[in-house]
Structure 1
């Protein structure tokens, strides 16, 4: 069985594709952004290096910075288009199944080719933060989304919310394969009960969708009356600029921009609370990772996606107004002042950990692929 995966290179894609390693499938990866050969995925056949039509080895960055107009003209004239490269890969591989990850990155760019090959089965995996729920800055959202959803045969989402959007707004009439985390399942970790009092680990994305600044503002206000520690990972430049020069007593602050995935998990292992805040997300992988690390989750709830797993005050806390500092402050204070222990929340999230343990999800995914042939 030949499976052609179409995706950008990301940690979620690497984790998902790794579920297929050492199995009965012939797995191919079309590197849709042509980011380059990935040694960590050497076990699968990579279609990469397809884009550059001039200065293939060196000189492109220099030319782009010094003569941008000339560079753009050369790109337009000589670089290969994604449709042509994918069509060539499709013809050479003759896959039994094409699987695209993320609609705008890996679905829409190949829609014309897939429409010419209607006999080829096509799975689309929706990534909740960017695909179906978020319509911002997408003037052609309805036509673009419906183009892909009308053609794909199968749909995987990371939350039920996006399944309903695909059915009701996108016109999807194919087979829904279920809600599965975008990177597959998670490994069980040893539960650390010795954590710092009032310790928080915060996802530091501050951009169009990520809203870390309202969280930090709320925590800074709380720090005037509580001694707290904050570890921030993935801190974006806008968040760093906001924090720079801030002087808050009773606060221990640890900032990280780009750190290894295992280091993020170690921060979670040693913090009581995890906070993630976004205007558009599905079921965040970092939320699930925090649950596996034993954190008490405090998470935004765009379109009620998070509430599919988290019940407010029962096994975590739901941020319903992600840009409202007072609302976030009140919620964090409620969590801080709760009489419930971290062990109690850990037990309350046992069913989630059982449901998404990596080996269980891997077996589910393998059976899913086998059933489609």
Structure 2
């Protein structure tokens, strides 16, 4: 069977597609952004890249950096039309299934091509894809048109399935799966509750992510609460760095920052999670966060925002984590951080529960045959 994946270059997509490595199917990836070289970690996949530019002219990168308006003018002439290239790709491959990941970036650009064929189309909703689509510049009419062509839906949370139904989806729902296809955890990196002294913070602060609010909340804490604590911020935006540098209190704390613009191996993040007493992630919109699932799997106590009720699907407030009701309320966030740091017994019970819960429901080894069966069952339905 030939499966054509359409997605941006993304760590979670690579993890998902690798579930099919030993399936015996021919898997192709149409890189919708045509960004960067071929990806070694999925080198068994036929990667369709290098299609966007008619000519990779000399000094292109320099012009892009120093003369963006001139670069934009050149690109209008130099870029191939996505629809035309994708239509030729479909014609050459003749896939049995097309699977797109995320609507705005991957689904809508290929919609006109898919409307001219009857190939089964799977759509995986990611992150803020459904919950925040209007704020992301997608109008309801586009969503409804896309769902009219979508044959199969996968979401990373129950919330987004309900949103999809309210926006016109009435075809086959394949279920809730984590966007990366599941977690493979190294148990040896999970530290005992008494050996955790790290506060781990997801550093997205891009308007949706609200990491600076977390830092403002930490500024409100008494110094004694933060004694002997290491603070690690990963995937930090520039605004996070600027805030720390301008904060009298934060500058003197033991803080390590990994910038969002620089690559950090996921295994290192998992190690941090395995030794952190709390993991804080705060945003005004998200799907089921993979970072939340990973933190829970590694025994880190989650303090998590809850846009649209998504996080409460797996977190029971004051039992296996704490939910941030208002991601913009630094007093609330500060109170939750203080509560978690002061309640060792709460964190211990949560660690025991969460590690078992994630292993039961999000274990990569358990989910892999289910994911492989998704494609095989669709192919059987097509034949019948």
TM-score range, shorter chain: over 0.9
Q: Indicate the residue corresponding to 1:244 in structure 2.
A: 245
In 2, distance between residues paired with 1:273 and 1:354?
22
Query: For each residue in 1:116-140, what CA deviation from the matched residue of structure 2 results, as whole angstroms up to 9, or x when unmatched?
Result: 11x10000000023x1101454454
Shift of 1:217: 1.2
Runs (5+) with no aligned partner, structure 2: 380-384
DSSP-derived class of the 1:335 partner:
helix
Whether the aligned pair in 2 keeps the contact of 1:15 and 1:183 (CA below 8 Å) is yes
DSSP-derived class of the 1:147 partner:
helix
Whether the aligned pair in 2 keeps the contact of 1:195 and 1:270 (CA below 8 Å) is no
In 1, distance between residues paired with 2:210 and 2:62?
35
In 1, distance between residues paired with 2:11 and 2:138?
29
DSSP-derived class of the 1:222 partner:
coil
Q: Indicate the residue corresponding to 2:300 in structure 1.
A: 295
Alignment of 1:270-285 (within 5 A): 270-285=275-290
Runs (5+) with no aligned partner, structure 1: none
Q: Please, what is the CA RMSD of the aligned residues?
A: 1.8
In 1, distance between residues paired with 2:193 and 2:341?
17
Whether the aligned pair in 2 keeps the contact of 1:223 and 1:248 (CA below 8 Å) is no
Whether the aligned pair in 1 keeps the contact of 2:182 and 2:364 (CA below 8 Å) is yes
Whether the aligned pair in 2 keeps the contact of 1:314 and 1:348 (CA below 8 Å) is no
2:333 to 316, 328, 335: 328
Q: Indicate the residue corresponding to 2:80 in structure 1.
A: 80
In 1, distance between residues paired with 2:63 and 2:353?
57
Count of aligned pairs between the two proteins: 369
Query: For each residue in 1:182-206, what CA deviation from the matched residue of structure 2 results, as whole angstroms up to 9, or x when unmatched?
Result: 0011113323116555531000111
Q: Which moved more, 1:341-350 or 1:353-362?
A: 341-350
Whether the aligned pair in 2 keeps the contact of 1:100 and 1:106 (CA below 8 Å) is yes
Tell me if 1:352 matches 2:350. Answer: no
In 2, distance between residues paired with 1:82 and 1:3?
19
DSSP-derived class of the 2:334 partner:
helix
Whether the aligned pair in 1 keeps the contact of 2:122 and 2:152 (CA below 8 Å) is yes
Q: Which moved more, 1:198-207 or 1:99-108?
A: 198-207
Q: Indicate the residue corresponding to 2:373 in structure 1.
A: 367
Q: Indicate the residue corresponding to 1:4 in structure 2.
A: 4
Whether the aligned pair in 1 keeps the contact of 2:193 and 2:277 (CA below 8 Å) is no
In 2, distance between residues paired with 1:105 and 1:183?
17
TM-score relative to the length of structure 2 = 0.91
Tell me if 1:13 matches 2:13. Answer: yes
DSSP-derived class of the 1:234 partner:
strand
In 1, distance between residues paired with 2:334 and 2:74?
52
Shift of 1:354: 1.2
TM-score relative to the length of structure 1 = 0.94
1:159 to 157, 165, 172: 157
In 1, distance between residues paired with 2:333 and 2:61?
43
Whether the aligned pair in 1 keeps the contact of 2:193 and 2:348 (CA below 8 Å) is no
Whether the aligned pair in 2 keeps the contact of 1:229 and 1:253 (CA below 8 Å) is yes
In 1, distance between residues paired with 2:219 and 2:69?
46
In 1, distance between residues paired with 2:138 and 2:289?
26
In 2, distance between residues paired with 1:5 and 1:116?
18
Tell me if 1:37 matches 2:30. Answer: no
Alignment of 1:154-233 (within 5 A): 154-168=152-166, 170-190=167-187, 191-193=190-192, 196=195, 199-226=198-225, 227=227, 228-233=229-234
DSSP-derived class of the 1:112 partner:
helix
Alignment of 1:254-269 (within 5 A): 254-257=256-259, 258=262, 259-269=264-274
Shift of 1:247: 2.7
Shift of the 112–272 alpha-carbon distance from structure 1 to 2, 3 Å rule, reads same
Q: Indicate the residue corresponding to 2:95 in structure 1.
A: 95
Whether the aligned pair in 2 keeps the contact of 1:128 and 1:162 (CA below 8 Å) is no
Query: For each residue in 1:65-96, what CA deviation from the matched residue of structure 2 results, as whole angstroms up to 9, or x when unmatched?
Result: 45544433332223201111110100000001
Q: Which moved more, 1:234-243 or 1:64-73?
A: 64-73
Shift of 1:339: 4.9
Whether the aligned pair in 2 keeps the contact of 1:128 and 1:159 (CA below 8 Å) is no
